[in-house]
Amino acid sequence: MTSSTETTEGASPLTHFDARGQAHMVDVGAKVPTHRIAVASGCIEMQPETLILINSGTAKKGDVFGVARLAGIMAAKKTSSLIPLCHPLALTRVAVDFDAPSDSSLHYTAVVCRATVESFGPTGVEMEALTAVQVALLTIYDMCKAVDRDMVINGVRVEEKRGGKSGYYPALP
């Protein structure tokens, strides 16, 4: 019987390792280019007063969501510089959006960040979408840490992906 990380031949199914177990960049040269889309999301929990400050536009460092959106877009474009085995990709679209509830009666509130990344190429864009979300949320933390050091980033995940040989992948609810 084989484990979930082992094939019947004993080689790892993890594509970033060669037959000798050495890390390598996957060869995507023979793969057919297709339209690729990935959506990732995550959230940052904060005090309701912190969200009020962000929404009022009076945070000392400026437009928190605007700066975080730009940081997320820039991060998606730089993913291959941050993640060693990611391919540099020609992205055709990066969108970073935020959703924040307006109910300030809660003990904390969560701002949800969602990144959609698209390209036309031989490999997927999940890592770019995940990187966009992480950096956008880290930017919110950086811009608001002076008033709320208890913020927590969590729940970062791929929500869906489209394109390539595996087609459509919806994440479990």
Residue in 27, 142, 148, 150 annotated catalytic: 142
Q: How many CB atoms lie within 10 A of CB 55?
A: 13
How far from 71 is each of 8, 33, 62, CA to CA, in Å?
Answer: 43, 28, 14
CB burial string 81-110: b at 16+ within 10 A, e below: eeeeebeebebeebbbebebeeeeeeeebb
How far apart CA 98 and CA 95 sit, in angstroms, is: 10
Our CA angle for 36, 42, 46, nearest 5°, is 155
Active-site annotation holds for 142: yes
How far apart CA 69 and CA 27 sit, in angstroms, is: 32
| Torsion angle, alpha carbons of 157, 118, 169, 114, to 10 | 30
- Is the CB of residue 3 less than 8 Å from the CB of residue 11? no
Q: Catalytic amino acids?
A: 142
